[in-house]
Amino acid sequence: TAAEGTIIVGKLALGEDSDFVKAYKAAGFSEPYEATGPYAYDAIGIILEALKKVGPDRKAIVDYIADPDFEYHGVIGLTKLDKDGQSVTGGLTLKVSRNGKWVPWSE
């Protein structure tokens, strides 16, 4: 096909036993979850964890998440952030078109 060899950022493949998938199904949604859903789910999880650890103080929350030793283990796996709050642990699923199908891409 014309797309053969094309690489895209694809939807994170989560198993049926994932907390996110279970919560999504329990909520009764009829459409499949969007590609950004698991990332938003973990973002809220990070905020909730920070609130539990340091309380509802904005600066304390930022400091907690900005700590170089901060790690969050969520549905997308391990999340660590740099000094600007950007993920340094990936979490994206890359796919390549092979024989008319999108398959996981490994370098």
Q: What are the distances in angstroms from CA 12 to CA 8, 36, 77, 80?
A: 12, 9, 11, 18
Closest CA to 42 of 83, 89, 7: 89
Residue 2 lies in a domain: no
3-state secondary structure of 102: strand
Residue 39 lies in a domain: yes
Residue 1 lies in a domain: no
Query: Model's pTM, two decimal places?
Result: 0.72
Closest CA to 94 of 5, 20, 15: 5
Residue 61 lies in a domain: yes
Residue 98 lies in a domain: yes
Report pLDDT for 91: 66
Residue 91 lies in a domain: yes
How many folded domains does the chain comprise? 1
Residue 25 lies in a domain: yes
Residue 42: exposure state from Cβ atoms within 10 A (0-12, 13-18, ≥19): buried
User: Over its length of 107 residues, how does the chain's per-residue pLDDT go in tens digits?
Assistant: 788 989 887 667 788 888 888 989 999 998 988 888 888 999 999 999 999 999 999 999 999 998 999 999 998 889 998 878 888 876 677 888 999 988 887 75
Q: Which domain holds residue 73?
A: 7-104
